[in-house]
Structure 1
């Protein structure tokens, strides 16, 4: 049975309220940081964290926006907050690395075995963590945005996996090729999985109800990408 606890983190005048999901035994375990979508910490991400806990990992859902968990989020305000973070990718990178540092020093976190995964905007954030050159085990992006941050490139130390819907209108095929070239230039061990006839947001069972063109759940892609993530984490934490 998993347990949940807030990690309050003061950053640049904001209180970030990360949520750790753990097994309550006090064991030192590999830890996965989950960077959620623009909507922040939601039941979907908590479910992912519980699944990771069942696999034998601690999971920390990162709060990028300085708001506590709430099932109801003002979408307009959420997208505005995301836009502010995306407008300064250097500052966003620093925020992300501060979160990694906070998690690494937590009791019962194996600091040598930390990975970051992210969804949608969080997937872009996960890739930016890898691009920073920080020495962590791995990074995985689910239907993330691929556009580079426009910062001086650094060697990429983390292994990288990206799970992408081929029909995602936010990430055209040329962006997929560009990411592969970027990761190759960074010198990292990388893999990109593209799922045919799959749109943006495919891991979210509620995606099709959002009424956003090009955003749609796909059960097969969600299942296949999670199975691949399990294998990826098993490899990077070995």
Structure 2
């Protein structure tokens, strides 16, 4: 296990001061990097720990912010902020590009090997970076089967993995079908994993806040989804002890 160092990074985006969490593996060499986007409630210790876990595997990892440091405890307040964002691909891209600029500016980052993963709104941002033609090595999303503007999925230049719960009322079968149709029509290398019996936000441990109906943690599927994301990164953006891609 590599020694991990972390620091808080602040940067402007969407008219806010974002407060991200950057995790670095031990050493001084360049490493592949991963952006980690949070759900609409905001960045919390769950995504920070995910960044730390990826740094332990040898990646530079930035858990980026979408709410200017805020964590919404009221679901209605969160939706009032998140839904307009989800309806505005350009805003999502701006937030994603700002985080991308931060990770590219980190001297430890290999700028030719960057991936984006995310949960909920953060996953939608990762997808919009792909639809904007950003040269990513992989995109992974959980609970984010958002579709984009017509034809723009053809700009996605990397494999896309998506995970969703079978009982997710926010991402129902119709939304799964629309996402699959968009990816297939665009010729994207895509895969979709449906976790049986799981609700929306099944990946996230319970927190002390009010939750919406249809939202719930599924501990086993949460572990499986994380293993699937790590597997995606290992396939598309492997890292060795030296940081160099395997020959």
Taking structure 2 as the reference length, the TM-score comes to 0.86
Q: Is the 8 A contact 1:134 1:158 kept in 2?
A: no
- Which residue number in structure 2 is paired with residue 206 of structure 1? 206
User: Which has the bigger relative contact order, CA under 8 A and spacing at least 6?
Assistant: 2
- Which residue number in structure 2 is paired with residue 131 of structure 1? 131
Give the ranges of 4+ consecutive aligned residues of structure 1 lying more than 6 Å apart after TM superposition: none
Q: Within 5 Å, which residues of 2 pair with 1:181-220?
A: 181-206=181-206, 210-220=210-220
CA RMSD of aligned residues (A): 2.2
Shift of 1:228: 1.3
- Which residue number in structure 1 is paired with residue 24 of structure 2? 22
Greater mean deviation of Cα atoms: 25-34 or 158-167: 25-34
Distance (Å, rounded) in 1 between the aligned partners of 2:101 and 2:150:
21
- Which residue number in structure 2 is paired with residue 63 of structure 1? 65
> Relative to structure 1, is the Cα distance of residues 158 and 210 closer, same or farther in structure 2, using a 3 angstrom cutoff?
farther
- Which residue number in structure 1 is paired with residue 242 of structure 2? none
Distance (Å, rounded) in 2 between the aligned partners of 1:42 and 1:113:
25
Q: Within 5 Å, which residues of 2 pair with 1:31-180?
A: 31-67=33-69, 73-75=72-74, 76-144=76-144, 146-150=145-149, 152-153=151-152, 154-180=154-180
Greater mean deviation of Cα atoms: 24-33 or 191-200: 24-33
Where 1:180 maps in the other structure, the secondary structure is helix
Q: Is the 8 A contact 2:11 2:17 kept in 1?
A: yes
Greater mean deviation of Cα atoms: 173-182 or 80-89: 80-89
Greater mean deviation of Cα atoms: 177-186 or 162-171: 177-186
Shift of 1:163: 0.8
Q: Is the 8 A contact 2:130 2:155 kept in 1?
A: no
Where 1:133 maps in the other structure, the secondary structure is coil
Shift of 1:215: 0.7
> Relative to structure 1, is the Cα distance of residues 196 and 22 closer, same or farther in structure 2, using a 3 angstrom cutoff?
same
Where 1:9 maps in the other structure, the secondary structure is strand
Shift of 1:151: 5.4
> Relative to structure 1, is the Cα distance of residues 235 and 10 closer, same or farther in structure 2, using a 3 angstrom cutoff?
same
Gaps of 5+ in 1: none
Where 1:223 maps in the other structure, the secondary structure is helix
**Deviation readout 1:187-206 (Å, 9 max, x if unpaired):** 22111111111111111120
Q: Is the 8 A contact 2:13 2:94 kept in 1?
A: no
Where 2:106 maps in the other structure, the secondary structure is coil
- Which residue number in structure 1 is paired with residue 245 of structure 2? none
> Relative to structure 1, is the Cα distance of residues 237 and 78 closer, same or farther in structure 2, using a 3 angstrom cutoff?
same
Gaps of 5+ in 2: 239-247
**Deviation readout 1:42-67 (Å, 9 max, x if unpaired):** 01111111211121112101112222
Q: Is the 8 A contact 1:22 1:57 kept in 2?
A: yes
Greater mean deviation of Cα atoms: 177-186 or 106-115: 177-186
Where 1:95 maps in the other structure, the secondary structure is helix
Distance (Å, rounded) in 2 between the aligned partners of 1:159 and 1:109:
20
